[in-house]
Amino acid sequence: MIAIEDLRKAYGGTQALDGISLNVRAGELFAYLGPNGAGKSTTIRILTGLTRLSGGRAFLGGVDIAADPIAAKRQCGVVMQHVNLDGDLTVVENMDIHGRLFGMSAAARAARTAELLDYVDLSDRAEGLVNTLSGGMKRRLMIARALMHRPRILFLDEPTVGLDAEIRRRIWGLIKQIQGEGTTVFLTTHYIEEAEFLADRVAFLDRGRIRALDTPPALIARVGAWAFDRLGPGGMTTEYFADRDTAQAAIAKAEDALTLRRANLEDAFLTLTGKAVRQ
């Protein structure tokens, strides 16, 4: 559904993307992880027609984004990191404008708006101004708006940034529901547990290059199944083990108190890239 071949983007002398290649299958939820400046948002901006690529090729639903950008844009819906709703319009009016931009008839817009507001549990706020909505409600409305024209691909660029844990998990459920209905989802996030919970596959991006790409369990397995953290003069260090028995034997020999835990996707990212996602 998404095909990227040697994608490059330069801003002056800075190479934001340095030869990205990947394929995202139809119906897959693909997570794209990396620290600030890694190239995540640049990738989405190129794929959604907001930024021109400097080299390489990219396709959405088989459509070359450079050769036919309008047809490519019809393939996708986009939820950007920053709230870009019109706060002085009502919920329904925001949905209606999006439908008009995609050439939907008045009847189709009304029916689809009602369907989607029910889907994201905002029917009771349909006539309210967007400025009166909470942060979580605005995020749900942005997702509903992006689905208005029935896109085959949904791009989510940091969709839960700034939300509390309860609201974030509610949106996780909505994202999985959207994927379950056949939509391909391309997700960027700084919340690594979000990617571990949601994604079928994950790419680790750093300095414009993909450092690793696999399923979350496979990436974690590269590090080890179990881990313990030790705080020393040089800071925190982590040791990884392939199995629980080996880890417990190592703990038994240690002089300091250690707690055994399962390794996670953040451990894999730190080990494979040498840095944290939230840098």
- pLDDT tens across the length of the chain (279 residues): 999 999 999 998 889 999 999 999 999 999 999 988 899 989 999 999 999 999 999 999 999 999 999 999 999 999 998 999 999 999 999 999 999 999 999 999 999 999 999 999 999 999 999 999 999 999 999 999 999 999 999 999 999 988 888 888 999 999 999 999 999 999 998 889 999 999 999 999 999 999 999 999 999 999 999 998 888 777 788 999 999 999 899 888 887 778 889 999 999 999 988 766 654
**C-alpha to C-alpha distance for 141 and 270, rounded to whole angstroms:** 34
Those residues with Cβ within 8 angstroms of residue 263's Cβ, 6 or more apart along the chain or in another chain: 220, 223, 224, 225, 226, 227, 240
User: What pLDDT shows up at residue 42?
Assistant: 93
User: What pLDDT shows up at residue 258?
Assistant: 83
**C-alpha to C-alpha distance for 98 and 9, rounded to whole angstroms:** 29
User: What pLDDT shows up at residue 200?
Assistant: 98
For 221, phi then psi, to 5°, come to -65, -25
Token duo for residue 201: 């596959």
User: What pLDDT shows up at residue 125?
Assistant: 97
**C-alpha to C-alpha distance for 9 and 39, rounded to whole angstroms:** 9
Which domains can be identified in the chain, with CATH numbers?
Answer: 2-215 (3.40.50.300), 219-273 (no CATH)
User: What pLDDT shows up at residue 256?
Assistant: 77
